[in-house]
Chain A
C-alpha cells in the first residue's frame, strides 16, 4: 500500500514569506506527527494529532508555526514570515494506534520536505 507522502520535496523561499508543507498519512492511521530535522541533527518534535483530540502543540517553536489536519487525514504545516533558522527538513510520520497504548504503533515516515530560506 501507499506510504506517507509529503509535498513539496524541496522548497526554497525568501525570508519573510509564508510556506505550507503538506503531509498525506497512510490511510487509516489516526495519529500524525510533525518533526523538524536541522542539518546533521536529530528529530525535533513539533506537533502531534491523534484522532479527534486536541493536538499536542507543545513542540511548536514559535507562533509563526501552525498546523492543521483536515478530516482526520491530510495535514498542513504552515510557517509564517519564514526566517533563515527555519531552514531544515520537515518530516511527517503517521501511526495506526490500533490497540493503543499496549501495542507497538511504530511511526511510518514520509520522505520529508527540505525547506531552504534565503
Chain B
C-alpha cells in the first residue's frame, strides 16, 4: 500500500511571508495523482492544488505552488504572501489509478500577524 508522510506536524509563518510544507510518499506506481487539501477550523476540507505524476511542470494556483520531484517522491506545497486565512490544517494526498486515496497526517499552519 502507498504511504504519505508529512514530517512537519506544525509550522508557522509571518503574514506576507512564504512557507513550504513538505510531503513525501512511497509508491511503486508510475501513474498517480497528488493533492493538497486545506482543513480550516470549520472542518470543511478544501482542495488547494493538484498534480499529475506524468506532468513535469509544477502546478500553480495563485499564491499556491508545488515542487514536485517524482524521482525523490516528494510533493511540497509553497504558500507565498501568506494571509491570515491560510491558517489551517494541510493534508497531502495520493490517489492511485484504482481511485484509492491515501492521506498524510497533516501539518497545522499558523499565520502570525
Contact = CB atoms under 8 A, between A and B. Distances in A.
Interface stretch (B14-22, B37-45, B64-72): B37-45
Nearest to B104: A42
B64 to A, nearest CB: 14
A106 B99 CA distance: 9
Interface in B42-66: 42-47, 50, 52
Nearest to B92: A42
A45 B105 CA distance: 12
Interface residues of A, number: 27
A109 interface: yes
B91 A111 contact: no
Interface string A85-99: 000010101010100
A104 B47 CA distance: 12
Contact of B99 (A41, A89, A95, A112): A95
Nearest to A3: B44
B75 interface: no
Contact of A91 (B45, B99, B105, B106): B45
B30 interface: no
B81 interface: no
B44 A109 contact: yes
Interface string B92-113: 0101111111111110000000
